[in-house]
Amino acid sequence: MGQVTIYLDNELEMKMKRAAMAGHLSVSKWIAYVIGEKISTEWSQDCQWLWGGCTTPGWGGGTSEQ
């Protein structure tokens, strides 16, 4: 597992800690989550479902009968 050292000013560090606490995550897990979201090349499962994975007629990308 990789390790990274980052240098933050006090204000940014406090914002990071608050965001991690609000998400009920450790700071390390929060940082990993943010990096994963930033570099993701795929739509989230919710977006995929809304656009193309929904099988309800009239919804989704081309799943409805015309």
Per-residue confidence in pLDDT tens, the chain, 66 aa: 889 999 999 999 999 999 999 999 999 999 999 998 888 877 777 777 777 765 555 555 544 444
pTM over the 0.85 mark:
no
Using only the alpha carbons of the chain, give its radius of gyration.
Answer: 18
Q: In the chain, what are the domain boundaries?
A: 10-53
Residues 63 and 52: their CA atoms lie apart, in Å, by: 7
Give the side-chain half-sphere CA count within 13 A for 45: 0
